[in-house]
Structures are given as C-alpha cells and as structure tokens.
Amino acid sequence: MKKLERLCCVLMMFLTLIGCSSSTPQTHDVIFQDSIRIDLGDEDVNTAEYVKRIDSYPISGSSIDGNKIHVSNITMVCPSLKKGNLEKLGKQKLIYTIGDEKYTVEANVVDSVKPVIKLKSDELTFEVGKMKGINNYYSVSDNYDASKDIKVKVKNIDKLNKNKTGTYKLVIKAWDTSGNTASKKLTVIIKDTKKEQEEKQKEEERKKEEEKKKAEEEKQREAERQQQQSVQQSQATSTNDNVSSYPATSNSSSQTQQPSSSTPVTRDYLFSQGYDMSSAPSACQSALMASGRSGSCTPLQDSNGIYLGMRLVLN
C-alpha cells in the first residue's frame, strides 16, 4: 500500500514538471514574409509588416495599428524595434504573441550605412615642413563599427611632400566591416611664404624698372620730336628768307636774253645731296643765271610741309 502511494506521488510530480515545462500550444496558422531583412540604419522598424497572413486572413495596411495586428477577433502583438534596439548584425529572432501563444520568426540584421569621414577642411594650407601626419586632419565613424575597426586608405599620399611647395590632391576612402565605403577629396597646399614674398618683391622691382625705362625712352623720343620740329621750322624760315632775297625770274629778264628753242629742263638741289638752306638757293640761282635761259628756282616741300631743297626749272 505504501509503495502504491509512493508511486502515485512520483507520477504526480512527473506530470506537474511536464505541465510546467511545456509552452502554450499554437492554435493559429501564421505566415510570415519569406525573407526578413532589417537594416541597422532604419529609423523605425514596423515588424507587423513582416506578417502576411493569420489563419485565412491576409494582412493589409488597414489591419495594422502600431505594433498590433487586428483581424476578426484575433489580436497579434508584434515586437517593437526602435533605432538602437538592434545590438548586433546577423540572425535575430522576432517573437510575436497572440494572447499567451508565441510565434517566432528569424530576421537577418544587416548594415548598409556608409562610414562617415569628417575633414577639418576640404583644403588645407601649410608652410613648408609644418604639416603633421595626414591622420591628424580627418576622423572616421560608423553607425555600427568602432573607429579602430574602420579601414582607411589615402590615395596619392605617396606623392605628398611636406617639404616641397605645391598643390596635392588626395582622396580619403573608408570601409566598415560590412563592406560599406565612403570617400572624401582633400586638397593640401604646401607654400613658402617668405620665398613668395621675396619673389613678389623682385617682380615689383622689375616692373618699376621697366616702367622707368619706358618713361625715359618716351621722354627721349618726345625731345627728339621737338628738336626735329624746331630744325624744320628753322629750315623753313631760312629758305623763305633766302628765296625772297633773290631777284625773281621774270619775263623782263628773260627778254634780255636770247630765247632758246631747247626743251624745258628740271634740276633739284636737295638737302639729302649735301645742300643746306643757304647753298641750295644759291646753287639754283647760279645755275639759272649761267644757263642763259628763262626759268625759276622754287622751294621743294613734302606732303607734311617740310622743306627738301630747291628746284630749278629752265624753260
């Protein structure tokens, strides 16, 4: 009898343990989206959208109220996932409930957000030899990875010489552990202010010298023009005076000479031939007298009114 009582007690304890460990049975047929992908960078995730059907009731937008789904007399509570609730990438279980019943589905949490590159400036200027390491002028961050886990490469960094003046074009590129990439362009200018100032001063001095030389040349040309005009005016005055001092050749003088049947003759006494304002009129007049013919001595001028010499015309 005592053995039977003991056996009953053990059986009751066993049944009690089984009852405590078993979960509430699922009485609804819940169909979820085939492949659930959650982006770590999403602001808000409405997990109700991953449920396609409950029993025979398809789920539409009108069935969803926040994180709950209402169809017929069924209310399903969906897991709430706000930004920051997702702690790690990869597979994550989402638990939905209808009353005491639990329905679990697996989602894949991914990261598609690019890392962030911050530059102190898009263009940096340094004196020769003053630039520090390139990593002092930018920082990287990511929505998931720590800064130390982000890979960084600086394109053209091998061409940058902090001891040589010039403009260097760099590209900073960063990768997070999910393979997302970001890039930023950076211009580095290396300059030598002291040398530039010296060269600028030399250039200014050179320009001043050129301007001074041009001014002196212009001044000299102006003096030469004035001198030439003065000489021409003096020559013109002397020619007029000399011509007026000679007796004019007239018909009366020619009448005292025997008329000639020779053809007219013209002869010039030019300053370019060595004559001057005095000798040209004298030579012309002497030739006229010696010819025994009638004629005249006339001053020659160019189109600008400058005297060129004298012209003898024998009739």
pLDDT of residue 234: 64
Please give the residue that has the higher pLDDT: either 216 or 232: 216
251: pLDDT strictly greater than 50: no
229: pLDDT strictly greater than 90: no
13: pLDDT strictly greater than 60: no
pLDDT of residue 255: 37
Report the pLDDT averaged over residues 212-239. Answer: 75
Please give the residue that has the higher pLDDT: either 231 or 164: 164
Give the whole-angstrom CA distance, residue 63 versus residue 49: 10
pLDDT of residue 154: 97
29: pLDDT strictly greater than 50: yes
Q: Residue 164: which of 191, 137, 186, 188 has the closest Cα?
A: 191
Among the ranges given (17-21, 139-143, 193-197), the one the predictor scored with the smallest mean pLDDT: 17-21
The pLDDT tens digits of the residues spanning 94-131 come to 999 999 999 999 999 999 999 999 999 999 999 999 99
250: pLDDT strictly greater than 80: no
pLDDT of residue 238: 55
Give the whole-angstrom CA distance, residue 95 versus residue 48: 11
248: pLDDT strictly greater than 90: no
pTM of the model: 0.53
pLDDT of residue 223: 78
Residue 64, CA atoms < 13 Å, CB-side half-sphere: 15
The pLDDT tens digits of the residues spanning 122-169 come to 999 999 999 999 999 999 999 889 999 999 999 999 999 999 999 999
Read off φ and ψ for residue 311, nearest 5 degrees. -125, 130
Burial class of 242 by CB neighbour count within 10 A (0 to 12, 13 to 18, 19+) = buried
| Position 5 confidence tier, pLDDT thresholds 50, 70, 90 | low
Provide Rg for the chain, Cα atoms: 57
Please give the residue that has the higher pLDDT: either 224 or 254: 224
pLDDT of residue 240: 55
pLDDT of residue 6: 56
The pLDDT tens digits of the residues spanning 55-64 come to 999 999 899 9
The answer to whether 80 and 149 have CB atoms below 8 angstroms apart is no
Q: Where are the alpha helices (DSSP H) in the chain?
A: 2-21, 193-245, 251-256, 279-291
245: pLDDT strictly greater than 70: no
The pLDDT tens digits of the residues spanning 171-182 come to 999 999 999 999
Give the whole-angstrom CA distance, residue 10 versus residue 178: 55
pLDDT of residue 195: 87
| Position 221 confidence tier, pLDDT thresholds 50, 70, 90 | confident
DSSP, residue by residue, 171-192? EEEEE-TT--EEEEEEEEEEE-
Which pair of structure tokens corresponds to residue 57?
């009731």
In sequence order, what are the residues at sequence separation of 6 or more whose Cβ sits closer than 8 angstroms to the Cβ of residue 95? 79, 102, 103, 104
